[in-house]
Structure 1
Amino acid sequence: MPTFLIPNSGYITCIVRKKDIQLKPEEIVRQLYAARLINQYGYTKKRIKFELTMQNLALH
């Protein structure tokens, strides 16, 4: 398992969204899991979405 350092600023660039985000406890878990999906399981960044509402989901 790789080691991740949390920057002193409290912000990190999101691996999926490519924007700076504040590192709250839930965001740390989200970023670690996204990194695992990409690096270990081969998911593409386009397949990962955060904070979707039910309106964003297409039901077929």
Structure 2
Amino acid sequence: MRHKRNAWMGVVGGLGVVVALAGFVGGWMTPRDTIVVTFAVWILGATLVRVFTDPPGKS
């Protein structure tokens, strides 16, 4: 599954962009909340991708 890491990182990046557009353009959140949620999606998403795509025996 490690070879699919780039694809999953792209999904996470796209999700962050969707959140940013919804907040800034759509007005669903205040600008401060939009920035916080966007970075949270990127950071947590990248962390989860790294955790779930590392080989099981790697320490």
TM (normalized to structure 1)?
Answer: 0.38
User: Larger helix proportion, structure 1 or 2?
Assistant: 2
User: Larger strand proportion, structure 1 or 2?
Assistant: 1
TM (normalized to structure 2)?
Answer: 0.38
Larger radius of gyration: 2
